[in-house]
């Protein structure tokens, strides 16, 4: 299963309509989500469900959605290979998810959304320390990946990340694919650069000291060799 997920861009999570093994399917869906792969939930053998009527699907869909509420972006389709119901629609969904995974959001629109989001619902922090989200851009696709710049970003709560994701999905069609976030703290970046710079200075100073000591040792050895050469010549 792990190898199949790793090699795929889009995974079809196949579920038997008569045997919904939700625990196993949830674990597989979690692996797909963590791997950043696209996913379509396919309920198969729909023709074999006994006693179903026009409302059975509408009753079952919310139940499945509840079990997979951690991947609400995954489309759900009911199929039957025996009757051919919705089989061709699977290919249409795959193409749609493929396009969504390759979609690039305009930076200007993303920052308009970020500004509206932080103004309407500023992120909470700890005591006098509050996260400040200043800039967002999409750094990659397949899966879509967004980088948010600001300060005190380590205090951004997971619920606020969900809020930002929901806002982005409302404005861009990323159905069928997870989206990822990275947070770059400007203060932390400056501190890291300062530490790296200080480390380089220490290394350069140590290198200079080592070079000086090596040159002194080499000079002593040359004088010793010259002295031995003179002694041997006089003998």
Q: Domains of the chain by range and CATH?
A: 2-102 (3.40.50.300), 107-188 (3.30.300.20)
The single-letter DSSP state of residue 44 is: E
In this prediction, residue 191 carries a pLDDT of 60
- pLDDT at 17 > cutoff 80: yes
Q: Structure pTM?
A: 0.75
More confident residue, 153 or 203: 153
pLDDT of residue 28: 94
Identify the sign of the CA torsion 192, 195, 201, 204.
negative
Give pLDDT, residue 119: 94
d(CA 125, CA 131): 6
Of 159, 162, 152, 146, the C-alpha closest to 132 is 152
Least confident range from 24-33, 76-85, 93-102, 185-194: namely 185-194
SS3 150: strand
**Overall average pLDDT of the 168-194 stretch:** 84
Residue 146 structure tokens: 């967004």
For residues 47-52, give the mean pLDDT.
80
pLDDT at 193 over 60: no
**What is the Cα–Cα distance from 50 to 1, expressed in whole angstroms?**
31
Q: Is the pLDDT of residue 48 over 80?
A: yes
**pLDDT band (50, 70, 90) for residue 129:** confident
Average pLDDT over residues 6-16: 94
């Amino acid at each position: 299963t792990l190898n199949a997920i790793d090699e795929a861009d889009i995974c079809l999570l196949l579920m038997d309509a008569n045997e919904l093994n939700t625990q196993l399917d949830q674990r597989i869906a979690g692996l797909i989500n963590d791997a950043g792969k696209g996913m379509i939930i396919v309920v198969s053998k729909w023709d074999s469900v006994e006693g179903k009527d026009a409302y059975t699907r509408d009753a079952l869909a919310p139940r499945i959605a509840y079990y997979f509420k951690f991947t609400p972006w995954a489309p759900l389709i009911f199929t039957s290979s025996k009757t051919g119901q919705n089989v061709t629609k699977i290919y249409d969904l795959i193409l749609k998810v493929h396009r969504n995974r390759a979609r690039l959001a305009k930076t200007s629109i993303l920052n308009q959304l970020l500004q509206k989001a932080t103004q309407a619902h500023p992120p909470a922090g700890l005591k006098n320390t509050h996260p400040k989200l200043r800039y967002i851009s999409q750094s990659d696709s397949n899966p879509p990946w967004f980088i948010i710049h600001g300060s005190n970003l380590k205090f951004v709560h997971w619920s606020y990340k969900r809020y930002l994701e929901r806002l982005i999905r409302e404005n861009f069609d990323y159905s069928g694919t997870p989206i990822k976030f990275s947070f770059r703290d400007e203060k932390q970046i400056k501190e890291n650069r300062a530490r790296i710079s200080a480390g380089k200075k220490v290394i350069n100073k140590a290198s200079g000291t080592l070079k000086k000591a090596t040159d002194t040792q080499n000079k002593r050895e040359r004088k010793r060799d010259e002295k031995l050469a003179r002694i041997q010549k006089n003998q």
